[in-house]
Amino acid sequence: MSLRIRCLIALCALSLPAAAQDRATAFARVQHLRHGINASMWFAQSANRYTADHLSGYTDDADIALMAKIGFDSVRLSIDPVPLESYPRNAEGFSADFIKRLDHAVDTMLTDGLAVQIDIHPEESFKQPFRAGNESVDRLTALWRRLAAHYAGRDPERVFFEVMNEPEVSDPYRWAGMQARLAAAIREAAPKNTIIVAGPNFSSIEDLLTLEPLSDPNVIYNFHFYDPHTFTHQGAGWGLSWWSYTHGIAYPVTEEARPEQLAQVPDPAARYELEHYWLDRWDGRRIRLMIDAAAAWGKGNNVPLLCNEFGAYRKVTDPVSRMNWLRDVRTALEADGIGWTMWDYRGDFGVVSKRDGEPAQVDPAVVDALGLKK
């Protein structure tokens, strides 16, 4: 965003009531999150391997510089709350080593001109108690007060707080109350920063549409997009058991390949479920219509939107089909003025390939599909 546009937004905001000013701030700041990347498997999703070697080497300063060079404007930094609070702790109640390395990552990103989404990204075992009990909500509320206060001193224009990744709480009313309480705790500790919230379950578009906007106007509303999972998660060893059988499923759909690809799945019920990929005729138009539904919700509620996860598993997916899907999702989001954050940097959905201690190798086809220039 140019300095002139920032100045105009600031001047206009001065004449608005406080709530309208805060909403204008959220709309302005979401422009810092137009082309983002997820820094996954680093401070979260690492199967408790939060050693010094992992935290300093899985993603390093050279990787952060490369993210900016590729053309990303922001990083979603996933954080597992369990190692964040492990012993030995400092005076703030954080793991002294973990928070020191986390601070280094955040500050390096800011120095390199990247905005940062501070994302609480727990394992399923941490989220399970949220479905029924209140003690876990109390615990996370206290953690957020401390974490938001810790980062409130950084530039509020470029540091965002995401309440929680994919809460897996199926009751939308329960999640709405939980999220409102957590957001209030963040706001109490960090009055100037913009908060990112999402719907229940796995934060899909359907989940977004269940949300009633929070009373706090300085909020960005977020959803994740992996549709159709039949394509984006082919070959995956988690989720539906039959995904692991599938490979080489093309996007957009090609009728010629259907018999051979259906034969990959031995179970009749699963095979019938897979067949819906062809029956539903997945293509760019179908994806655009789904993104349009999210955009209409945002416009109807006068709130800024973000898609901070989308991607396709690359292990057994045809590269051309994967680029087709990435391009269609990215262009649909941009056509509706929605910023995006691809999943992920060096993981199984990644934009680079890398071994620890070695320079990352950029996939130019992914960069092109994202409309970026390395």
Q: What is the mean pLDDT of residues 18-31?
A: 96
Cα torsion angle, 125, 129, 135, 138, sign: positive
Per-residue model confidence (pLDDT) at position 49: 87
How do residues 294-312 score in pLDDT, each as one tens digit?
999 999 999 999 999 999 9
Per-residue model confidence (pLDDT) at position 356: 86
Residue type, 363: D
Q: How far apart are CA 178 and CA 297, in angstroms?
A: 21
Residue with the larger pLDDT of the pair 11 and 160: 160
Cα torsion angle, 289, 26, 149, 340, sign: positive
Q: What percent of the chain stands above pLDDT 70?
A: 95
Confidence class for position 133, pLDDT limits 50, 70, 90: confident
Which of these, 217, 127, 120, 126, lies nearest to 175 by C-alpha position? Answer: 127
How confident is the prediction for the chain on average, in pLDDT? 94
Q: What is the mean pLDDT of residues 188-207?
A: 98
Q: What percent of the chain stands above pLDDT 90?
A: 91
Cα torsion angle, 316, 317, 323, 325, sign: negative
Q: Is the pLDDT of residue 113 over 50?
A: yes
Confidence class for position 1, pLDDT limits 50, 70, 90: low
Q: Is the pLDDT of residue 5 over 60?
A: no
Per-residue model confidence (pLDDT) at position 8: 44
- β-bridge mates for residue 118, sequence order: 77, 161
CA distances in angstroms from 120 to 7, 30, 57, 132, 324, listed in the order given: 32, 19, 21, 20, 31
Q: Is the pLDDT of residue 237 over 90?
A: yes
Confidence class for position 15, pLDDT limits 50, 70, 90: low
Which of these, 167, 245, 241, 243, lies nearest to 208 by C-alpha position? Answer: 167
Q: What proportions of the chain, in percent to the nearest 5, are helix, strand and coil?
A: 50, 15, 40
Q: What is the pTM of this model?
A: 0.94
- Answer for the pair 126, 81: CB distance below 8 angstroms, yes or no: yes
Confidence class for position 357, pLDDT limits 50, 70, 90: confident
Per-residue model confidence (pLDDT) at position 178: 97
Q: Could you give all domains of the chain from N- to C-terminal order, each with its CATH number?
A: 15-238+293-369 (3.20.20.80)
Q: Is the pLDDT of residue 7 over 50?
A: no
Q: Which two tokens stand for residue 16?
A: 């608005």
Q: How far apart are CA 267 and CA 322, in angstroms?
A: 26
Number of H helices, E strands in the chain: 16, 10
Confidence class for position 11, pLDDT limits 50, 70, 90: very low
Alpha helix segments (H runs only) across the chain: 3-14, 18-29, 52-57, 61-70, 81-84, 96-111, 124-127, 135-151, 172-189, 205-208, 229-232, 258-262, 268-279, 284-301, 319-335, 364-369
Which of these, 83, 124, 79, lies nearest to 238 by C-alpha position? Answer: 124
Q: Which two tokens stand for residue 134?
A: 């209140």
Other CB atoms closer than 10 Å to residue 300's CB: what's the count?
8
Per-residue model confidence (pLDDT) at position 13: 47
Q: Helices 61-70 & 96-111, crossing angle to 10 degrees?
A: 30
Q: Which two tokens stand for residue 187?
A: 């706001």
Q: How far apart are CA 223 and CA 200, in angstroms?
A: 10
- Answer for the pair 217, 23: CB distance below 8 angstroms, yes or no: yes
Strands 305-310 and 194-198: unpaired
Q: How far apart are CA 327 and CA 175, in angstroms?
A: 32
Q: How far apart are CA 308 and CA 195, in angstroms?
A: 13
Q: What is the mean pLDDT of residues 141-145?
A: 98
Confidence class for position 2, pLDDT limits 50, 70, 90: low
Confidence class for position 131, pLDDT limits 50, 70, 90: confident
Per-residue model confidence (pLDDT) at position 48: 73
How do residues 43-83 score in pLDDT, each as one tens digit?
999 887 899 999 999 999 999 999 999 999 999 999 999 99
Q: Is the pLDDT of residue 158 over 90?
A: yes
